[in-house]
Structure 1
Amino acid sequence: MAATLKGKTLFITGASRGIGREIAIRAAKDGANVVIAAKTSDPHPKLEGTIHSVAAEVDAAGGKGLAIQLDIRDDAAIREAFEKAAKHFGGLDILVNNASAISLTPTLETPAKRFDLMLGVNARGTFLCSQAAVPFLKESAKAGRNPHVLTMSPPISMKPEWFQHYAAYTMSKYGMSMCTLGMAAEFAKEGIAFNSLWPRTTIVTAAVEVHFPEEILKASRLPAIMADAAHVILTSDSRKNTGNFYIDEALLKQSGVTDFDRYALNPGTELYQDIFVE
């Protein structure tokens, strides 16, 4: 497959900042059409980035951006957003399930509202966005346009260590991974790829900044490593590369990358390993 996303249309959830934004800009450098789907339409008092600012960055990078305000807990809004995106760009080739909610809290400290948020955004949102994307991706497959669904979720491991401290969060992230596992098999004959991607180290994102100590943030990598790994997956043959759970560093090493210092926030600092990584 040609290692470019030129002319492809991507729908990226949670793309107003962090990893989603970085994947959008990486695709734009190839000349892709990118739908920036996220909740943040107006500037946030503490967090940088809106759907409009990232759409402008996509345009500046050489792609074509479309900002769509979307809460992926709203099933009707999801369907409308995909219809709008496909109509605007004449189809859809790639979905990136990036939006996610996090709360690393033990059972007794996880209220129902927080549990529902994580399950609603992570597992349910990924399922519904994938469901809405499939009809358009089937058309992409028929046209030989190499359709992919890429979900930011970890390999599934049933070891108690990944559940004992934050069972609700693990359930929600594994729910995303189960979408990859099940849908890869379900839609293999249609030629639609479903894969997951997870970082070996913590990544410099708002989630890490808010939920982890500062020393962990300083020992993290930049979102660019996830964007480069995503690019490798999304330019691979969708009929041959599906149902896989990738770790960013391992995938990039297999692709010939040797310089990983450029991805570090503070080169030379010992990196902090992310959760769900053996």
Structure 2
Amino acid sequence: MSSDRVVVVTGASRGAGKGIALALGSTGATVYVTGRTREEGDSPLPGTVFATAEEITRRGGVGVPAVVDHSDDAQVQALFDRVREEYGRLDILVNNALAVPDALTMKGPFWDKPLSLLDLFDVGMRSSYVASYYAAPLLAANGEGLVVNTSSFGGACYMHGPAYGAGKAAVDKMAHDMAVDFRPFNVAVVSIWMGLLKTERTLAAFGENPEAYEGLAATAESPEFTGRVIDALARDPQLMKRSGNVLIGAEIGAELGVRDLQGQQPPSHRPFLGNPPAFSDAVIE
């Protein structure tokens, strides 16, 4: 795929989505930035869809803000209708929108935590399916394309409890199964396990207890690193051979020569957090 791409990155007001959108926008792409935050102050954390879109344009891409609540299927459908009307195609979809309940990092067993953790299934697992569903006709019509589900090692190890783990394992398996349906159309689907990211939320935690997080902070990835990896994947002649797999972002970055903002090579956390799943090649229709 060339740099003249049309991209949708969901959940890009801040965090991983913002970083991915900025990195892809820096290649000259047109990037639709989705999220719920219209104005600063609407969220406890900084960032809006408009600010991300403006920064993309400043970097040489075309940033398109799209206020979308990914728990509302009608709004998601309207987003892709808009992409079709305005550009007539879609090259890359990044499913990153995720509800992050305040209780996510609470200690203790799952039954001592609120049921609101199930919001992770709605905006996260389910919203990735819905966005892919409405994006699929545009991607298939292209004759090539890429769908990325952002995920984490929580799909294979205990991380924040069963709600988070199940949501991540689901988008990983979803990538594998969607790849089967997309293969005849030369559209690749992968899930990328990101490392610890220097997001607004994480940096705030580092600031509250710098000594406790000193070691982790040294190896954390910038939110833009995954976007750089996605750009490299989109250019990779072997992309379709990777389709259907769960990829560790740091490892693919090293393989494809992608470095982080300061030139560093983020480490893979495979040795202590585990391996990506190996799915069966069997196809039962």
Moved over 6 A (4+): none
Partner amino acid, structure 2, of 1:204: K
TM-score calculated relative to the size of structure 2: 0.81
* Structure 2 residue 122 is the aligned partner of structure 1 residue 120: yes
Q: 1:276 to 1:230 in 2, by over 3 A?
A: farther
Give the counterpart letter for 2:110 in structure 1. T
For 2:186 and 2:91, locate their aligned partners in 1 and report how far apart those are by CA, in whole Å.
Answer: 12
User: AA paired with 1:65?
Assistant: G
> Deviations 1:157-212 (Å, cap 9, x if unpaired)?
66xx527x50111011111112101101122112111001112x311113434678
- Tell me by how many angstroms 1:134 deviates: 0.2
Aligned identity (percent) is 26
2: CA distance, partners of 1:211 / 1:174: 26
Which residue of structure 2 aligns with residue 62 of structure 1? 60
Q: 1:204 to 1:153 in 2, by over 3 A?
A: same
SS in structure 1 of the partner of residue 142 of structure 2: helix
Distance of 2:205 and 2:131 partners within structure 1: 26
* Match in the other structure for 1:235: 235
Q: What CA distance in whole angstroms lies between the structure 2 residues aligned with 1:190 and 1:255? A: 24
Question: Is the Cα contact below 8 Å between 1:155 and 1:245 reproduced in 2?
Answer: no
Structure 2 stretches lacking a partner, 5+ long: 276-285
* Pairing 1:250-265 to 2, within 5 Å after superposition: 250-257=251-258, 262=262
Supply the distance in 1 between the matched residues of 2:172 and 2:193 (Cα, whole angstroms): 10
TM (norm. structure 1) is 0.83
Question: Cα RMSD over matched residues?
Answer: 2.8
Which residue of structure 2 lines up, in the alignment, with residue 147 of structure 1?
Answer: 145
CA distance in 1 between counterparts of 2:116 and 2:263 reads 36
Distance of 1:33 and 1:183 partners within structure 2: 24
1:162 partnered with 2:164: no
Contact 1:154 1:276 in 2 (8 A): no
- Does residue 8 (structure 1) correspond to residue 5 (structure 2)? The answer is yes
CA distance in 2, matches of 1:21, 1:40: 12
Q: CA deviation at 1:126?
A: 0.5
Q: Number of matched residues?
A: 261
Report the Cα distance in structure 2 between the residues aligned to 1:118 and 1:263, rounded to whole angstroms.
33
2:192 maps to a residue whose letter is L
Aligned with residue 174 of structure 2, among 161, 164, 179 = 179
* 2:86 counterpart (85, 88, 105): 88
Segment drifting more, 100-109 vs 57-66: 100-109
Query: Which letter does structure 1 place at the counterpart of 2:255?
Result: Q
Aligned partners of 2:247 and 2:85: how far apart in 1?
A: 32
